[in-house]
Structure 1
Amino acid sequence: MKNPRLLVLFLITFLAGLSPIQGHNDPLELEEALIRQRLEALPCLIEPRYVSAVKGYLKTYLVEQRDKAEKILGRALIYFPLFEEELRRAGLPEELKYLAVVESALVPTAISRSGAGGLWQFMPETGASYDLLINAWVDERFDPVKATRAAIIHLRKQYERFGSWELALAAYNSGAGRVRRAVKRAHSTDFWRVRRYLPRETRNYVPAFIAATYLFHYYDLHGLEPRLPSPDLQLTTTIELREPLTVEEICSVTGLLPWTVEALNPAWKKGVIAAHGRSGWLTLPQYAMPAIADYLALRRTDAAALAALDLPLLEPHDQAWRQTTYVLGQGEDLRDVARKFHCHPLHLLFWNHIATLQPPAGSELVVWEPARILRCQPGTAVKALPVVRPAVDIPVRVPLPREKEASDSYIWHRLQRNETLPEVAHRYGVSLRQLYERNPVLQHAAPMAGMRLRIAPRPQALPAEAGGR
């Protein structure tokens, strides 16, 4: 080009068409040479091949649904400590924890179109074969502890049957019979040869597992930031209950909100844990469990002291957690620090935005720990009890005035199936706090389809029941 203006115009047009490969929303972020190198170094339970299905799942996590991927990473802080502990106890590889990412995206109440439910997606009949009870009071497929133990037994059985984790995962998804027939047709026990004879969903199941493993090892290299849940959900203690305990009692003794208790214990449908003689697992924030242990001991041994308790002991309160700084000592790593602070190394990695378990000595680490520990003991004045509550913006239990409002002076909403309270609050422009204040039923009953909720005072121009619900 002899005309310099045309040359400049050409260069500007050409450069404008280029996108930086590090752009968060640019598919070129999935630069194949780098990803192949990372997959080769990936500590994976199975051989990590970069086939088209793996690429598709990675594109979903890293480009198309980054928000979902960040939420999955955050939920791992709630469930991975449990998974790892149970897998270690059973002598199975800890990497199997990534299977729950594939199954449910770590949503404990997830239900598939086919009716599979929970973190590990058990069908009702399969769950029943592993003693997961489903009735009007409880669905133990949604119990993180019991469902995880059932999944471990099921996975062990499949591995012992096929001798390959690839085939064991395939059998977990589609059943041992289908995998056995596919092996026979392929005349091979190599998953990558058997794969073509499996159902489409199962063909992609092992690639989905590879992609989930990649996500947790290299999320930071793709600019993903884990969405951290409340410390109330991250730092918890679990005990086995052999006697009924209501959500209302738990909230009265600890000052916790029903939302928190139900989020940590999603299996129980009617606000009663360990109902009808069925033992159950109770999970609560670390600072709250000692008060419940005290309360249960009183209930068993000292009826007079229990009767003297003026429930509720605690109202909603502040400053449940405190953030401290810990200086890493010589020879220490994050596992040592996690043991000292009763957390998990993954918490420390995410809290501090680091990618190694062995930062240099002298590194300053952010650590969260309970500000106080709640107790419920005879002779202790209510005011002397430590006063704390979750340090997140969730609804406060404030009783409504007793005087009734005329029903036509309020906007009402009828909950639909799978609709959540945050969705309702967002739709009407009110806060979760306001929903709880205006609907005392939410203090002792879980939201369910058909429940009629009072939303807000109705302007004269609006009808009494909004949205036709």
Structure 2
Amino acid sequence: MNIKNTTIAFLLLLSVPLFSQEVAESKGIAVLENNISYLDSIKKTFIKDEMAACVDSLWMKELTDLKLYNEITSDIENNNSDENVDYELPTELLKSRLEAMNAKSPFRIEYNPSLENVIKSYLKYRKKSFEKLMAISDYYFPMFEEAFAQKNVPLEIKYLAVVESALNPKAVSRVGATGLWQFMYQTGKQYNLKIDSYIDDRSDPLKATAAAAEYMANMYAIFGDWELVLASYNSGPGNVSKAIRRSGGKQNYWNIRKNLPKETQGYVPAFLATMYLYEYHNEHGIRPDKGFVKHFETDTILMKKQMSFKQIADLLDLPVAQLQMLNPSYKLNVVPVYGDEKHFLRLPKDKIALFTSNEDKIYAYIQHQLDGREKTFENNRGIAAKANSDEGTTRTRTTYYKVKRGDHLGSIADKYGVAVTDLKKWNKLRSNTIAYGKSLKILSTETVAAVVKKEVVAPVVSREAILEKQRLASMKLKIKKEAVAEIKTNQNTGFYVVQAGDNLNTIAEKNNVTVEEIKEWNHFTTASVPAGKSLQIAAIITDVKEAVAVAETVEPVVLTDIKYTVEKGDNLSSISRKFGTAVADLKEWNKITNPNLTIGNSLIVAKNEVAITTEYATASSFKKKDVFATATTTKSVDYYVKKGDSLYSISKKYPGVSVSDLKKWNGITNEGIKPGMKLKING
């Protein structure tokens, strides 16, 4: 009977939530599962288009890889077009094909041995590269052709983007040229390309291509020859003009080629060889990879609120890599909204339909996330001032984030729900560049409950504990200043001599470091690295990083005056005996002129001592000899330098001693120390 009743009760209990849900739904009330997120609840209400985009993540990774760009750049700079290449391509057949290309092109495409060698070299060593490039070109070439047609520029110039950037909008040369068309900063500004902290239009396919078309048209008006236009695009019109004069007034590229810069000598042959491979890829067995998206399958939408790529990816179920590929001009992975300027987001057409059908819900979600962010300290001062003491107060909390590979300010700001501008202000950053391994300060606010102040007894602190505390506090102040300088002189530091054809990307890849680390170690302000220059490749010392991490957690030693409340029967003599303090000191510290003391008054009984939780003490718990003041006795010792020692490693052996101390005590002006050398340690 008991089992039967228990079973009935259990079934009734299970039916209650089901019944409640049916009632709620019958009244039109939305019922959400307990674990559903706000994002999921928004997405559940989306009106969706039936067509879905299928994107291969491995293919997306291939598109954003800089390997192709590095390979092609290296080929142009280092390829010797006068060196014969062994490849099965009859010269007569090549001549006939070049004649066919010349017949339908405004370029003068004529056979010469140098061009033959470049074509054969590409066919022998770069077939796989061109299979990938041809897939990417399915997306970019239609927009190139449209822009060139508007300016009456030959459509064949679309192949130049393959030579310039390997069709990678994020490509940056060793001298700082950026984007598909490799515009320098000043040239980009000259052609009205916007470059600021959030946006670099040199990486925008449409805007950069329009600027390239305008440049080509302007150069053709000067030279009247498309090969010379290409040469001027690479080396500048000034170098082409000088080559013409040095050649005795000749105006054919092949006649002035030897008087052009070395890189430009291989530039036009690389362009013509690329055009040949695209025209005759089937005949040479080159099978283009499958492209991820066609140009005509994308569209743009005007943004009304600032959104990060992460937010867009979460809402529309898109890979962030695809957003980066379609919107390469947004440097921080954020589509900004500021002033009267219009900023657009490019998406696959099915995602455009999803976005526009649910625009109000998407912006409501962005606002919800914005409202949920922790406010900065400055914005909360008014709130903190009004906070009731019974409810608690608002205070600033500081956390630190160590930059990892692949991080940028946009992703870090999104992770902590703060603004990029705040991150830059808190860490005194002047640019958007952050080095791998750097610790970023992040401020937030938190509410703490009000605490009634109570008089508690100061705990006794041992001499050893205080010494350790002071040692770690000293490390915190000095390690940061010394670590970077000493890493450069440490035995783990290496050097790399720049080779011909090197750029920061290739050097970073060879040494398993990042471009930003190389820039930081060598104090670079530009991306230019001349051949023959010796670059410092520093290895971060693990124990230094650990020491800094430990030091960050150490609170500085706080010195305070220890006070005592006068009790019945106390006088200056008895208090002096209790705390081991001279009567004269008690009078001086407390400005006592009358020897009679009032019960309940507070007297300073110890000056500048260490206390952790309170400044008050009782005689029974306080002993002067147990409290260690900061003044310590200075004692000089000698240290003999051993093999492998550096100033930094020696300073670590003596707590509180810095590298600058060692230099000052021993009259050292540089970093050089030798085994057997005697150093004075004066503290």
Measured against the shorter chain, the TM-score band is: 0.5 to 0.7
Does residue 163 of structure 2 align to residue 96 of structure 1? no
Deviations 1:256-315 (A, max 9, x none): 12111112111112222244344334321121112223445x38xxxxx95489999xxx
Residue of structure 2 aligned with 1:34, choices 70, 89, 93: 93
Does residue 274 of structure 2 align to residue 215 of structure 1? no
CA shift for structure 1 position 116? 0.9
CA shift for structure 1 position 204? 2.3
Task: Provide the residue aligned with 2:436 in structure 1.
Answer: 450
Task: Provide the residue aligned with 1:283 in structure 2.
Answer: 346
CA shift for structure 1 position 148? 0.6
Classify the secondary structure of the residue corresponding to 1:208.
helix
Residue of structure 2 aligned with 1:150, choices 198, 211, 227: 211
Letter in 2 for 1:91: N
Change (3 A) 1:184 1:241: farther
Q: How does 1:242-321 map to 2 (within 5 A)?
A: 243=304, 244-277=306-339, 278-296=341-359, 298=360, 307=364
CA shift for structure 1 position 238? 3.1
Between the aligned partners of 2:196 and 2:190, the Cα distance in structure 1 is 15
CA shift for structure 1 position 112? 1.2
Q: How does 1:54-133 map to 2 (within 5 A)?
A: 54-133=115-194
CA shift for structure 1 position 443? 13
CA shift for structure 1 position 201? 1.6
Letter in 1 for 2:342: S
Residue of structure 1 aligned with 2:265, choices 194, 198, 203: 203
Classify the secondary structure of the residue corresponding to 2:350.
coil
Deviations 1:56-84 (A, max 9, x none): 33233211122212111111011001111
Between the aligned partners of 1:138 and 1:247, the Cα distance in structure 2 is 14
Change (3 A) 1:443 1:30: farther
Between the aligned partners of 1:107 and 1:119, the Cα distance in structure 2 is 6
Change (3 A) 1:307 1:136: closer
CA shift for structure 1 position 130? 1.1
Task: Provide the residue aligned with 1:457 in structure 2.
Answer: none
Query: What TM-score does the superposition give when structure 2 sets the normalisation length?
Result: 0.40
Classify the secondary structure of the residue corresponding to 1:287.
helix
Change (3 A) 1:251 1:242: closer
Letter in 2 for 1:144: P
CA shift for structure 1 position 230? 2.1
Letter in 2 for 1:64: Y
Larger radius of gyration: 2
Residues 45 and 96, structure 1, Cα contact 8 Å, conserved in 2: no
Between the aligned partners of 1:245 and 1:417, the Cα distance in structure 2 is 18
Task: Provide the residue aligned with 1:415 in structure 2.
Answer: 405
Letter in 1 for 2:280: Y
Residues 132 and 146, structure 1, Cα contact 8 Å, conserved in 2: yes
Between the aligned partners of 1:145 and 1:44, the Cα distance in structure 2 is 24
Between the aligned partners of 1:260 and 1:203, the Cα distance in structure 2 is 36
Deviations 1:201-234 (A, max 9, x none): 2222221211111011001111111122323x66
Between the aligned partners of 1:241 and 1:156, the Cα distance in structure 2 is 30
Residues 253 and 311, structure 1, Cα contact 8 Å, conserved in 2: no
Residues 307 and 366, structure 2, Cα contact 8 Å, conserved in 1: no
Query: What TM-score does the superposition give when structure 1 sets the normalisation length?
Result: 0.57
Equivalenced residue count is 305
CA shift for structure 1 position 248? 3.3
Between the aligned partners of 2:275 and 2:365, the Cα distance in structure 1 is 53
Residues 141 and 147, structure 1, Cα contact 8 Å, conserved in 2: yes
Deviations 1:147-166 (A, max 9, x none): 11111111111011111111
Between the aligned partners of 2:173 and 2:89, the Cα distance in structure 1 is 29
Between the aligned partners of 2:184 and 2:267, the Cα distance in structure 1 is 17
Q: How does 1:347-426 map to 2 (within 5 A)?
A: 414-415=404-405
Residues 258 and 442, structure 1, Cα contact 8 Å, conserved in 2: no
CA shift for structure 1 position 414? 4.2
Between the aligned partners of 1:311 and 1:256, the Cα distance in structure 2 is 21
Residues 53 and 207, structure 1, Cα contact 8 Å, conserved in 2: yes
Between the aligned partners of 2:204 and 2:321, the Cα distance in structure 1 is 16
CA shift for structure 1 position 134? 2.2
Letter in 1 for 2:177: A
Runs of at least 5 residues in structure 2 that lack an aligned partner in the other structure: 1-84, 370-401, 421-431, 439-511, 514-538, 541-683
Classify the secondary structure of the residue corresponding to 1:207.
helix
CA shift for structure 1 position 49? 2.3
Residues 234 and 264, structure 2, Cα contact 8 Å, conserved in 1: yes
Deviations 1:370-425 (A, max 9, x none): xxxxxxxxxxxxxxxxxxxxxxxxxxxxxxxxxxxxxxxxxx9942799xxxxxxx
Runs of at least 5 residues in structure 1 that lack an aligned partner in the other structure: 1-25, 300-304, 313-411, 419-435, 453-465
Residues 165 and 182, structure 2, Cα contact 8 Å, conserved in 1: yes
Task: Provide the residue aligned with 1:360 in structure 2.
Answer: none
Classify the secondary structure of the residue corresponding to 1:293.
helix
Residues 143 and 206, structure 2, Cα contact 8 Å, conserved in 1: yes
Change (3 A) 1:264 1:448: farther
Residues 247 and 261, structure 1, Cα contact 8 Å, conserved in 2: yes
Between the aligned partners of 2:366 and 2:345, the Cα distance in structure 1 is 22
Between the aligned partners of 1:85 and 1:442, the Cα distance in structure 2 is 42
Residues 246 and 272, structure 1, Cα contact 8 Å, conserved in 2: yes
Residues 194 and 201, structure 2, Cα contact 8 Å, conserved in 1: yes
Task: Provide the residue aligned with 2:44 in structure 1.
Answer: none
Residues 44 and 213, structure 1, Cα contact 8 Å, conserved in 2: no
Between the aligned partners of 1:221 and 1:245, the Cα distance in structure 2 is 47
Residue of structure 2 aligned with 1:190, choices 237, 241, 252: 252
Between the aligned partners of 1:287 and 1:109, the Cα distance in structure 2 is 25
Between the aligned partners of 2:417 and 2:159, the Cα distance in structure 1 is 35
Task: Provide the residue aligned with 1:362 in structure 2.
Answer: none
Between the aligned partners of 1:159 and 1:265, the Cα distance in structure 2 is 31
Residues 191 and 211, structure 2, Cα contact 8 Å, conserved in 1: yes
Classify the secondary structure of the residue corresponding to 2:159.
helix
Between the aligned partners of 1:417 and 1:272, the Cα distance in structure 2 is 14
Q: How does 1:159-198 map to 2 (within 5 A)?
A: 159-186=220-247, 187-198=249-260
Residues 246 and 273, structure 1, Cα contact 8 Å, conserved in 2: yes
Classify the secondary structure of the residue corresponding to 1:121.
coil
Deviations 1:158-186 (A, max 9, x none): 01111111111111111111112222333
Classify the secondary structure of the residue corresponding to 2:274.
helix
Letter in 2 for 1:450: Y
Residues 238 and 281, structure 1, Cα contact 8 Å, conserved in 2: no
Task: Provide the residue aligned with 2:493 in structure 1.
Answer: none
Residues 60 and 66, structure 1, Cα contact 8 Å, conserved in 2: no
Task: Provide the residue aligned with 2:458 in structure 1.
Answer: none
Between the aligned partners of 2:161 and 2:365, the Cα distance in structure 1 is 46
Residues 254 and 292, structure 1, Cα contact 8 Å, conserved in 2: yes
